[in-house]
Amino acid sequence: MEIIRTVEWMKQVSRQARAEGRLTGFVPTMGALHAGHVSLVRAAQRDCSPVVVSIFVNPAQFGPGEDFARYPRSFDADSVLLQSLGVEYLFAPEAAEMYPPGFSSYVEVEGLGSRLEGRARPGHFRGVATVVLKLLEIVEPWRAYFGRKDAQQVRIIQQLVRDFYLDAQIEVCPIVRENDGLALSSRNAYLSADDRRAATALCRALGAAREAIERGERNAARLVAAMREVIGRERRAAADYVEVVRADSFEPAAQLRGECYALLAVFFGATRLLDNMLIVEKDGAMRCEI
């Protein structure tokens, strides 16, 4: 595996792959890799060659008082893992390489970027959209792979690609979970043992909504109430938001129609975790993907 540190070097590798008629797959990460990231790499390897994985903890998407300084970093272990998976290239630039002196251009996806996570974390999606645009321009992949756990982020990236006529296809992969249902996240490392046990309330709340849907419930407010009831029974949990939204706009839904998301953002101690369930209407029936 080749470790690439500079933008120009990465661009040269990308141009060479394209000249050889190869289809590059790209998995952008912030490191602290887990089985969810591995699933993205495997998906890329099924479709593409070469595969590029990036590790870059993007300072532009962290607000004041957030966890940029303590965000989990395990570059050596991540490198060993990626090499064992057969990844060809690891793009790992320093912040000064991605944001050199004089950098002053940022990207905002209006509307989608101001709701939910955008409201809770002002400036977050501006940083995400900016770095993803830069990475897609640098790597120039045929396909880029993202996990559905960060559903609003994925939707914003899809909008970004559409609005700027980028060539990359965005592939959205399923959430990977622990045996007890907790969605894998690098921030799970922050959880105390008690908070880790409590965090299973996320999946249990989504499960309650799914059971209600399977019984015929289509009213979003009643689904939200069912999820809030589960979260409320867990004394170590504090809900930031519990919503059912349209999958295209991330605006609140009144009734389940088409594609929707049930979205959760919940604090367990000082750790804020996200989870979601995709709800798809097909042939008059509702299919739920947790």
Active site residue 37: yes
| 132 and 227 fall within a common domain | no
Q: Is the pLDDT of residue 209 over 90?
A: yes
| 229 and 128 fall within a common domain | no
User: Which one from 34, 37, 134, 210 is the annotated catalytic residue?
Assistant: 37
Give 234-275 pLDDT, tens digit per residue: 999 999 999 999 999 999 999 999 999 999 999 999 999 999
Q: Is the pLDDT of residue 284 over 90?
A: no
Nearest to 58, CA basis, from 154, 159, 126, 104: 126
Banded pLDDT at 148 (limits 50, 70, 90): very high
Check residue 23 and give its pLDDT.
Answer: 97
Rounded Cα distance, 217 and 223, in Å? 8
| 57 and 135 fall within a common domain | yes
Check residue 283 and give its pLDDT.
Answer: 86
Q: Is the pLDDT of residue 166 over 90?
A: yes
Q: Is residue 181 part of a domain?
A: no
| 107 and 250 fall within a common domain | no
Question: Residue for token digits 């500079």?
Answer: 6
Domain that holds residue 254: 186-284
Q: Is residue 37 part of a domain?
A: yes
Nearest to 152, CA basis, from 250, 227, 69: 250
| 31 and 150 fall within a common domain | yes
Q: Is residue 100 part of a domain?
A: yes
CATH code at 258?
3.30.1300.10
| 191 and 169 fall within a common domain | no
| 76 and 193 fall within a common domain | no
Percentage of the chain surpassing pLDDT 70?
100
| 274 and 246 fall within a common domain | yes
| 23 and 159 fall within a common domain | yes
| 146 and 246 fall within a common domain | no
Domains identified in the chain, total number? 2
Q: Is the pLDDT of residue 47 over 90?
A: yes
